[in-house]
């Protein structure tokens, strides 16, 4: 269903962009107009292939077509957004009919420029974002514990083993005490999880690698994903909690966006937090939902992802309507919520404006109260 809706929306947006583009003076010549429309049809077919059929094909050519199709989806979206701003500014050409075409031309040029920036940002190494968090209940001897957090890697046909190897090296260089992978580690039916196990085994952390499931792990091949995590030596938390060290408990809930559709989100969180011991409690929740409830259950730190911070401007404004805590640090009823904007990308290998990130979180024990 989602695939059909996405293809339909992008088809409409592309038709709109090319309708406006072919009316510009640059394409007044019949041959130029034919070349424009022909290239548009070819790019549209690559996009449809990328969304509808890429899960059933493999090889370098299939990967290239998928990448081109997905990036084209991003370019269409950005160009359509820029054009829409131009339409609003000119009253869809009725307020300033003589200059409307110039404004539209500038909007299309801006859209192409922004798309190039987005592609460059999407291919850059994720940034490392540093946070210090005072975790209630954390014993003094665990003060200074360092967590490395990755979310939304979306490993598959577009993001492969070479990229993962670089991320493993990047994380290991932080010398973390604990590594948290907070959902959407894999993406798509075309994923051969076994090809990533050897790289995952290179992750180094004395307190282990802990995993919470994302929506993409829940859609398909869940057993395969769970098996690959086990083979890599990871601890997967399925609506449960466990001790990582004396005085430090890690809880992991299955994706709350998926659970919400099933009407089981609150029950899943309750089960996850049940029986959590005393000390510092960290919740791994792919979707930043039920934040107040998590705080009420005693979590001092909640780690989330899923939003990608919108990934492509201005999509972030739409994402924020559903997930108000879209990226960064928030304080909720005494609990710290950190929402990672994603380590990888979904769909287009593009990011506008900020690149992906890995979180480096240093835990601090509460300062003793003095009279």
- Predicted confidence (pLDDT) per residue in 233-290, tens digit: 999 999 999 999 999 999 999 999 999 999 999 999 999 999 887 899 999 999 999 9
Residues 183 and 323 in one domain: yes
| Concatenated DSSP letters of 61-106 | HHHHHHHHHHHHHHHHHHHHHHHHHHHHHHTTTTSSTTTHHHHHHH
Residues 15 and 71 in one domain: yes
Q: 188: pLDDT confidence band, cut at 50, 70 and 90? A: low
Residue 59 has pLDDT above 60, yes or no: yes
Residues 136 and 193 in one domain: yes
Percent of the chain at pLDDT > 70 equals: 94
Phi, psi (deg, nearest 5) at residue 190 = -75, -5
Burial 142-178 (b: 16+ CB within 10 A, else e): beebbbbbbbbbbbbbbbbeebbeebbebbeebebbb
Residue with more model confidence, 203 or 67: 203
Is 182 part of a structural domain of the chain?
Answer: yes
Report which DSSP code applies to 304. E
Residue 348 has pLDDT above 70, yes or no: yes
pLDDT value at residue 6 = 83
pLDDT value at residue 141 = 94
Last residue of a domain, one of 93, 123, 153: 123
Is 370 part of a structural domain of the chain?
Answer: no
Count of Cβ atoms closer than 10 Å to residue 288 Cβ: 26
Is 164 part of a structural domain of the chain?
Answer: yes
Is 371 part of a structural domain of the chain?
Answer: no
pLDDT value at residue 191 = 58
Who contacts 191 (Cβ-Cβ below 8 Å, separation ≥6)? 155, 156, 157, 221
Residue 63 has pLDDT above 90, yes or no: no
Residue 303 has pLDDT above 90, yes or no: yes
Number of domains in the chain: 2
pLDDT value at residue 100 = 85
Count of Cβ atoms closer than 10 Å to residue 35 Cβ: 12
Stretch 41-49: mean pLDDT: 82
The CA distance from 333 to 259, in Å, is 23
Q: 3-state secondary structure string, 316-359?
A: HHHHHHHCCCCCEEEEECCEEEEECCCCCCCCCCCCECCCCEEE
Q: State the distance between the two ends of the chain, measured CA to CA, in whole angstroms.
A: 61
Last residue of a domain, one of 74, 94, 123: 123
Is 369 part of a structural domain of the chain?
Answer: no
pLDDT value at residue 107 = 94
Distances from the Cα of 245 to the Cα of 134, 239, 274, 277, 359, angstroms = 17, 19, 18, 11, 21
pLDDT for 215-231, tens place per residue? 988 777 777 888 889 99
For residues 340 and 307, the answer to whether their CB atoms sit within 8 Å is no
Residues 101 and 228 in one domain: no
Residue 338, both tokens: 């950190």
Last residue of a domain, one of 123, 153, 171: 123
Q: Which pTM does this prediction carry?
A: 0.90
Residues 203 and 220 in one domain: yes
Who contacts 347 (Cβ-Cβ below 8 Å, separation ≥6)? 70, 73, 74, 311
pLDDT for 68-102, tens place per residue? 888 999 999 999 999 999 999 998 878 888 888 88
Residue 321, both tokens: 């309507």
Residues 99 and 163 in one domain: no
Going by their DSSP bridges, the two strands 240-245 and 248-253 should be labelled as antiparallel
Residue 55 has pLDDT above 60, yes or no: no
Name the one residue in this structure whose structure tokens are 């609990």: 335
Residues 283 and 206 in one domain: yes
| Residue span of the structural domain in which 360 resides | 127-364
Q: 173: pLDDT confidence band, cut at 50, 70 and 90? A: very high
Is 20 part of a structural domain of the chain?
Answer: yes
Residues 158 and 292 in one domain: yes
Name the one residue in this structure whose structure tokens are 């998590």: 294
Residues 208 and 313 in one domain: yes
pLDDT for 141-158, tens place per residue? 999 999 999 999 999 888
The CA distance from 258 to 267, in Å, is 13
Residues 117 and 205 in one domain: no
Rounded to the nearest integer, the mean pLDDT of the chain is 90
For residues 24 and 17, the answer to whether their CB atoms sit within 8 Å is no
Residue 310, both tokens: 């919108």
Q: 177: pLDDT confidence band, cut at 50, 70 and 90? A: very high
Percent of the chain at pLDDT > 90 equals: 65
Q: Where are the beta strands (DSSP E) in 54-207?
A: 127-134, 146-150, 178-182
Residues 288 and 147 in one domain: yes
The CA distance from 257 to 203, in Å, is 28
């Amino acid at each position: 269903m989602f695939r059909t809706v996405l293809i339909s929306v992008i088809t409409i947006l592309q038709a709109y962009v090319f309708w406006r583009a072919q009316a510009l003076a640059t394409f007044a010549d019949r041959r130029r107009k034919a070349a424009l429309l022909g290239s548009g049809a070819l790019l549209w077919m690559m996009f449809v292939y990328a969304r509808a059929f890429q899960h059933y094909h493999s090889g370098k050519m299939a990967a290239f077509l998928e990448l081109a199709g997905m990036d084209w989806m991003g370019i269409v979206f950005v160009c359509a957004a820029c054009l829409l701003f131009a339409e609003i500014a000119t009253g869809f050409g009725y307020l300033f009919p003589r200059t409307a075409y110039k404004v539209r031309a500038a909007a299309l040029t801006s859209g192409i420029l922004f798309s190039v920036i987005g592609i460059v940002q999407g291919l850059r190494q994720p940034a490392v974002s540093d946070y210090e968090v005072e975790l209630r209940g954390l014993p003094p001897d665990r003060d200074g514990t360092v967590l490395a957090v990755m979310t939304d890697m979306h490993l598959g046909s577009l993001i492969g083993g070479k990229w993962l190897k670089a991320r493993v090296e990047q994380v290991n260089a932080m010398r973390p005490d604990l590594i948290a992978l907070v959902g959407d580690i894999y993406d798509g039916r075309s994923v051969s999880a076994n090809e990533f196990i050897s790289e995952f085994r290179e992750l180094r952390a004395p307190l282990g690698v802990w995993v919470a499931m994302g929506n993409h792990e829940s859609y398909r091949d869940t057993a395969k994903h769970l098996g690959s995590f086990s083979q890599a030596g990871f601890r997967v938390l399925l609506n449960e909690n466990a001790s990582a060290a004396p005085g430090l408990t890690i809880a992991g809930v299955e994706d709350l966006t998926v659970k919400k559709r099933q009407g089981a989100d609150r029950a899943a969180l309750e089960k996850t937090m049940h029986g959590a011991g005393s000390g510092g409690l960290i919740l791994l929740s792919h979707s930043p939902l039920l934040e107040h409830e998590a705080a009420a259950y005693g979590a001092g730190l909640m780690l989330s992802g899923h939003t990608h911070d919108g990934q492509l401007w201005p999509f972030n404004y739409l994402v924020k309507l559903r997930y108000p805590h879209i990226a960064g640090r928030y304080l909720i009823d005494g609990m710290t919520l950190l929402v990672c904007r994603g380590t990888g990308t979904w769909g287009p290998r593009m990011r506008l404006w900020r690149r992906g990130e890995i979180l480096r979180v240093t835990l601090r024990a509460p300062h003793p109260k003095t009279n």
